[in-house]
Amino acid sequence: MAGLNVHTGQVLTERIDRNNADTFIGFLRRLNESIPAGTSIHPVMDNGSSHVAKKTKAWPATRPRFNIHHTPEHASRLNQVELFFSALTRRLLRRGQFAYRDELAAAIDTFVLACDEHDAKPYRWTYDGSPLKAAWTPEGSTRRCTRAGRLLPDCSARGRPAADGGSPSASGRRTPSRTHA
């Protein structure tokens, strides 16, 4: 289990035997104890069963400094700690061979401590959205679509091309599409 301080890039990890609500609440308690009083805590988590259990939801509800955030389903990449897990996987787990669970856990602990000491820095989003911005017209309601570099007819607001390549008019009849330069 891990928590990422987004301001420093340091990671707090904990070995766990079971991933259930009680274990997760214990981790939240340790976060609460390790972060200075008066600082708000914003855990970002997926919708795993230990994160959405009734017990888990009740615990931070009585602690005003906890502001829980859940990523949308199938969008864990929005959680910055997942970037750390990706680095852990690429730099340690894929290259290592571990005969025992304790050996793996010790290697992870060593990796985390080394990262915290030498590599810890806030993650910076570098994606500027250019491809997405280019796909939308200034009105924002109609998307321009391209395939193999060729501009296609306007797409409807739901992102599907109109059946005849045109777009519906106010009367509901299809009218020819305009292409955007």
Count of CA atoms in the C-beta half-sphere (13 A) of 42:
8
**pLDDT of 41-79, one tens digit each?**
999 998 889 999 999 999 999 999 999 998 888 887 788
Regarding whether 88 and 154 lie in a shared domain, the answer is no
Regarding whether 98 and 131 lie in a shared domain, the answer is no
Regarding whether 26 and 57 lie in a shared domain, the answer is yes
In angstroms and rounded to an integer, the radius of gyration of the C-alpha atoms of the chain is: 24
Regarding whether 132 and 92 lie in a shared domain, the answer is no
Regarding whether 111 and 43 lie in a shared domain, the answer is yes
- pLDDT in the model for residue 163: 44
In 3-state terms, what secondary structure has residue 151? strand
- How many folded domains does the chain comprise? 2
What is the domain range of residue 15? 2-119
Q: CA-CA-CA-CA torsion for 102, 110, 4, 53, nearest 10 degrees? A: 0
pTM of the model: 0.63
Where do runs of H (alpha helix) occur along 35-165?
Answer: 49-52, 54-61, 81-88, 101-114, 130-135
Give the CATH number for residue 110.
3.30.420.10
